[in-house]
């Protein structure tokens, strides 16, 4: 059994991105510039955005943080996006989700220019991904694919069971895993809350990608020996072990499932670090596009 | 066992579309207008476009056929699309595929304004469909969903196995069938050329949607009793039975599979007629959008 060290792999990739940025600068080109729009003061969102800004610094990107109070209007946010869309100094930007209830998240996402949508949430990027065209693939699915690539996990012809059909993880990863590519080319079953006899299905899986957001959902009796398990769950649960008073919990009952696995990702330190790296890669890609003659 | 009469269902829907058009005309609104662009003189393409034009007439649409010779340049075709995009008299249009080898099909499809892309092939429509947003769903998957709806086939929680991962059928129908909707909400397995032990998977299926383009691929030993089989195959094979010298053959060995089914679609007369009807529905939808104040 091998625990996939997402943190270490993410650091390796950051090193490669740093090299690419250095080469850009050596050619007198501006380094990539990522902007993040943050509304309100939600603890989780603050943490995520701070991590993204810090990661930008580590790889030599420029970064900008644009803050709005909780009561910002949708119109003001849309004007901000319109400015970022035409700002030639910004290569890519994200609007940290979730947004306050009075703002239509869909309208915000669709207002972002697809070329600058480094989160890959715009329908045009989702569609290009589904068709297999070049695009910004959304960060978590792209990070999972990169884990398979770096760990040289063979996926071709394998039965991959995806748990959860969210637009940002379950659906896109099921599409990527079934596409004619390496990694990919797997037979994919997408399961969700309406799935019957779930354990019968997961027990047939060579690869399980758990993205339901239900702590400790996948138990040892639900998997076969030698399975590859990717845990995308990141539920915050109260904890006396940490200074913050909470810790992240995955969808997999790690202690009992891990011994049966050939590979497994831990939470934290598995998929999470890869997500931010994917965002950096998308931003680098956008900057390279800008620099193309 | 019930044979799903796609032709009859398609006629019913055409009647409903006809009524909607009559109501439009009664309100002094222009009826929907569909344009088709046809390049060259391929027999199959000629037949399909002729069927589409005829169907338009049946439901009271206006239709236009724009013809180009085989040697038309990509630039000329792109100019034609640009004109159709801004022509306020045209509600929707299609470019009949396949196109000659010297023309980049992708560039042509992406040039079509998503709102007029009634084939649903533009990445923005593919992405909106994947996310579950209002859009033009491509015609064949939309037609299959409509068959489930009209036949009141329960799909929720059922195991649906899709054979084939094409961009125009396999991939989109697998997404639609897994979405939280009625029909839909099924557990979906997407199989393809790299799938191992395929018969073990199909034998577990409550619903099989065969879209590989391999005549007689699905045999009786591959299905369980009571299965619902949707046959999307339409391979032309030589035949002495028909005046044309060919006939359409599905992916399902109908004679031996049908007795085991609760429902099955024949070829021809199953999914095929529904595809054209979906195109008409998308065009009607585009026209209604145009008429909205």
Q: With contacts defined as CB-CB under 8 Å, which chain A residues touch B175?
A: 130, 171, 175
Contact across the interface for A194 and B165, Cβ inside 8 Å:
no
Q: Pairing state of beta strands A246-249 and A235-238?
A: antiparallel
* Shortest alpha-carbon distance between residue B104 and chain A (Å): 14
Residues of chain B with confidence (pLDDT) below 50: none
Contact across the interface for B122 and A127, Cβ inside 8 Å:
yes
What ipTM was reported for this prediction? Answer: 0.94
Query: Cα(A126)–Cα(A286) distance, rounded to whole angstroms?
Result: 16
pLDDT in tens, A82-127: 999 999 999 999 999 999 999 999 999 999 999 999 999 999 999 9
Residue A233 near residue A210, CB atoms below 8 Å: yes
Contact across the interface for B167 and A132, Cβ inside 8 Å:
yes
Q: Is B160 helix (H, G, I), strand (E, B) or coil?
A: strand
Q: Pairing state of beta strands B227-231 and A227-231?
A: unpaired
Tell me whether residue A292 is exposed, middle or buried, using C-beta atoms within 10 angstroms of its C-beta: 0 to 12, 13 to 18, 19 or more.
Answer: exposed
- Identify the CA nearest to B92 among candidates B145, B31, B147: B31
A123–chain B Cβ distance below 8 A for any pair: yes
Higher pLDDT, B217 or A291: B217
Contact across the interface for B195 and A106, Cβ inside 8 Å:
no
At a CB cut-off of 8 Å and minimum separation 6, what does A252 contact?
Answer: A210, A216, A217, A218, A229, A231, A233, A264, A267
pLDDT greater than 80 at residue A293:
no
- Identify the CA nearest to B195 among candidates B162, B160, B235: B162
Query: Cα(A243)–Cα(B87) distance, rounded to whole angstroms?
Result: 63
Give the DSSP letter of residue B224: -
pLDDT greater than 90 at residue A241:
no
* Shortest alpha-carbon distance between residue B196 and chain A (Å): 6
> Got the DSSP string for B172-215?
HHHHHHHSSSSS---EEEEE-TT-SSHHHHHTT-SEEEE-S--T
Q: Strands, DSSP E only, in chain A? A: 2-3, 33-39, 62-68, 92-95, 159-163, 187-191, 207-210, 227-231, 235-238, 246-249, 261-264
Residue B249 near residue B267, CB atoms below 8 Å: yes
- Identify the CA nearest to B1 among candidates B226, B209, B223: B226
Q: Tell me the pTM.
A: 0.95
Catalytic residue among A91, A119, A206, A231: A119
Contact across the interface for B192 and A194, Cβ inside 8 Å:
no
Which tokens hold the place of B232?
A: 């999307």
Which tokens hold the place of B185?
A: 């909400």
What average pLDDT does this structure show over A67-80? 98
Which tokens hold the place of A75?
A: 């119109």
Which domains, and CATH codes, for chain B? 28-113 (3.40.50.10860), 139-271 (3.40.50.720)
3-state helix/strand/coil string of A217-256: CECHHHCCCCEEEEECCCEEEECCCCCCCEEEECCECHHH
What average pLDDT does this structure show over A153-176? 97
For the beta sheet containing A159-163, the strands, ordered from the edge strand earlier in sequence to the opposite edge, are A2-3, A261-264, A227-231, A207-210, A159-163, A187-191, B187-191, B159-163, B207-210, B227-231, B261-264, B2-3
pLDDT greater than 90 at residue A43:
no
Q: What confidence category does residue A292 fall into, taking pLDDT thresholds of 50, 70 and 90?
A: confident
Which tokens hold the place of A263?
A: 């590979």
Q: Is B247 helix (H, G, I), strand (E, B) or coil?
A: strand
User: Given A131, A188, A190, which is nearest B126 (Cβ)?
Assistant: A131
CB pairs under 8 A between A and B: 113
Residues 129-148 of A with CB under 8 A from B: 129-133, 135
Q: What pLDDT does B293 receive?
A: 65
Q: Is B137 helix (H, G, I), strand (E, B) or coil?
A: coil
Q: With contacts defined as CB-CB under 8 Å, which chain A residues touch B128?
A: 123, 126-127
Contact across the interface for A123 and B132, Cβ inside 8 Å:
no
What average pLDDT does this structure show over A75-79? 98
Q: Pairing state of beta strands B92-95 and A235-238?
A: unpaired
Query: Cα(A272)–Cα(A138) distance, rounded to whole angstroms?
Result: 13
Contact across the interface for B127 and A125, Cβ inside 8 Å:
yes
Percent of chain A predicted with pLDDT > 90: 93
Residues 87-106 of A with CB under 8 A from B: 106
User: Given A123, A186, A194, which is nearest B127 (Cβ)?
Assistant: A123
If you measure CA to CA, which chain B residue comes closest to A135? Answer: B123
Residue B72 near residue B39, CB atoms below 8 Å: yes
Q: What confidence category does residue A244 fall into, taking pLDDT thresholds of 50, 70 and 90?
A: confident
Q: What pLDDT does A222 receive?
A: 98
Give chain A's count of helices (H) and strands (E).
Answer: 10, 11
Q: What pLDDT does A291 receive?
A: 78
Q: What pLDDT does B244 receive?
A: 84
């Amino acid at each position: 059994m091998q625990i996939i060290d997402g943190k270490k792999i993410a650091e390796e990739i950051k090193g490669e991105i740093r090299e690419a940025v250095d080469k850009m600068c050596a050619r007198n080109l501006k380094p990539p510039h990522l902007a993040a729009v943050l509304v309100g003061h939600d603890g989780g969102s603050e943490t995520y955005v701070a991590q993204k800004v810090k990661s930008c610094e580590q790889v030599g990107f420029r970064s900008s943080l644009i803050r709005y109070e909780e009561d910002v209007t949708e119109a003001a946010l849309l004007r901000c996006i319109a400015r970022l869309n035409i700002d030639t100094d910004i290569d890519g930007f994200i609007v940290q989700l979730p947004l306050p209830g009075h703002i239509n998240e869909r309208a915000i996402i669709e207002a972002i220019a697809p070329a600058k949508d480094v989160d890959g949430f715009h329908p045009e990027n989702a569609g290009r991904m589904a068709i297999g065209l070049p695009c910004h693939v959304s960060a978590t699915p792209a990070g999972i694919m990169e884990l398979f690539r770096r760990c040289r996990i063979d996926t071709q012809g394998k039965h991959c069971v995806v748990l959860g059909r969210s637009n940002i993880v379950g659906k896109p990863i099921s599409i990527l895993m079934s596409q004619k590519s390496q990694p990919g080319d797997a037979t994919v079953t997408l399961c969700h809350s309406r799935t019957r006899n779930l354990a019968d299905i997961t027990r047939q899986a060579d690869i399980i990608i758990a993205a339901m957001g239900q702590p400790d959902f996948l138990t040892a009796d639900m998997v076969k020996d030698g399975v590859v398990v990717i845990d995308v769950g990141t539920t915050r649960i109260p904890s006396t072990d940490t200074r913050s008073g909470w810790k992240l919990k995955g969808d997999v009952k790690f202690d009992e499932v891990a011994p049966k696995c050939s590979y497994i990702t831990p939470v934290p330190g598995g998929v999470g670090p890869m997500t931010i790296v994917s965002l950096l890669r998308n931003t680098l890609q956008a900057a390279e596009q800008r620099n193309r003659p």
